[in-house]
Structure 1
Amino acid sequence: MNFIIPLFFGFISAFIGIIPPGLINMTAAKVNHKEGKRNALWFIFGAVIIICFQVLFAILFAKIINRRPDLVTLMREIGFGIFATLTIYFLWLAKKPKNKSKKLNNKSKTKRFFLGVLLSALNFFPIPYYVFISITLASFKLFLFDATSIFIFINGVIIGSFLVFYLYISFFNKIEGKADYIMKNMNTIIGSITGLVSTVTLWNIIKYYWY
């Protein structure tokens, strides 16, 4: 049972974090559409490898923070500032993304693998996301910062990430129209999510100092 819990939460965390249309999963879908499933899978392998290291770094960082309640409070305050700034930026300052149809030239599987590595490495959001997830799970006694739990959790993330990417490349033609609509309104979607997170974070900060 102890093995199932970190695997389950790793899988669910990855599934929720990657399911919204983004640069990596949409690129994987377009590679599959233009070049076939083989190149798309190599792209996914490259992206998942980097996600694996990002999750490991995030959990190790969260382990340090979890030992220091004062750091947890400080991270909440920093997080509130970051998410509040992102909310203002995406809702009022950022330009609307243009729906440009980019052509992908037929590349070798090796180049697609390294493209997946590059795009995944440029995406820094998984690190704070998994720091937050692991600390939250640990606070509810659903996750332990031991080697076994970390290893199993990361495997759950790998499985969840690969599944979402595979769903994108398998059903891209069915979701393409909806994905284009979402991409056009991505600033509003991101701004709303960061606004909600910043509100919850602010409430936790106020509750901490109030009590």
Structure 2
Amino acid sequence: MDFFQHFVIGFIMAFAGLLPPGMLNMTAMKTAVAVDKKAGFLFSLGAALIVIPQAFIALYFANYFAKHPEIIENISFLGVIVLFLLSGFFFWLARKKNSKESKIQSSNFFFMGMIMSALNMLAIPYYLVYSTLLESRDILILERNYILFFVFGAFFGAFALFTLFVLLSDVLIKRAKYIARNLNYLLSILFFFLAIFTLINIFNN
């Protein structure tokens, strides 16, 4: 079991986990559409950096979380609240007739990415569940040195995924102008249904 394998697993887990339309990848794409690609890349970098402590906490304290499942449940509930708040926020943005978002300096989107990624309360439960499953099958080793390689793999996987969405923003502008014009509404609806879906999963577990 080598370190590179843990790096690859971390990369794949982060990339696959962020691939479905969600809070971060859609915002990265929206930023590239509404502002420019530089802002989108900076947002992506900031968001990906927060994956490092999230994945590390999930794996390093896996045994503690297993003994205290109520912590993960509380984190999941916080995630639902954040999704509802984001749904309302993007609906508010969509209702604004004169958006000044394009005047925001691109450098600020790096910190915006960090903040929004930190608000993603569902990241820690995600890494915890799948890393524990892989450990039970002797695919992962939850020891510090191995965890570090996994974590850096997760960072690069997240950044690669966000970057992909930023690059796809060109296709969005050229081939789906209606979506581009109504992206805030679509994000609002997306976050609302993600919150409902997460809430249902919490009560079913």
Match of 2:37 in 1: 37
* Inter-CA distance 119–65: structure 2 relative to 1 (3 Å threshold): closer
Q: Which runs of 5+ in 1 are unaligned?
A: 202-211
Q: Which runs of 5+ in 2 are unaligned?
A: none
Q: Does 1:147 align with 2:152?
A: no
Per the normalisation by structure 2, the TM-score is 0.71
Q: Separation in 2 of the partners of 1:82 and 1:124?
A: 6
Of all paired residues, the percent bearing the same amino acid is 27
Q: Separation in 2 of the partners of 1:52 and 1:143?
A: 17
Match of 2:108 in 1: 111
Equivalent residues of 1:14, 1:161 under 8 A apart: yes
Equivalent residues of 2:3, 2:146 under 8 A apart: yes
Q: How does 1:17-96 map to 2 (within 5 A)?
A: 17-65=17-65, 71=67, 75=69
* Inter-CA distance 30–185: structure 2 relative to 1 (3 Å threshold): closer
- How far did residue 65 of structure 1 move? 4.1
Per the normalisation by structure 1, the TM-score is 0.70
Aligned length: 189
Q: Does 1:164 align with 2:161?
A: yes
In terms of Rg, which structure is larger? Answer: 1
- How far did residue 157 of structure 1 move? 0.6
Q: Secondary structure at the match of 1:46?
A: helix
Kindly provide the CA deviation profile for residues 116-166 of structure 1, in whole angstroms up to 9, marking residues without a partner as x. 111112221111111112211111111112122101111111111011101
Please, what is the CA RMSD of the aligned residues? 3.6
Match of 1:184 in 2: 189
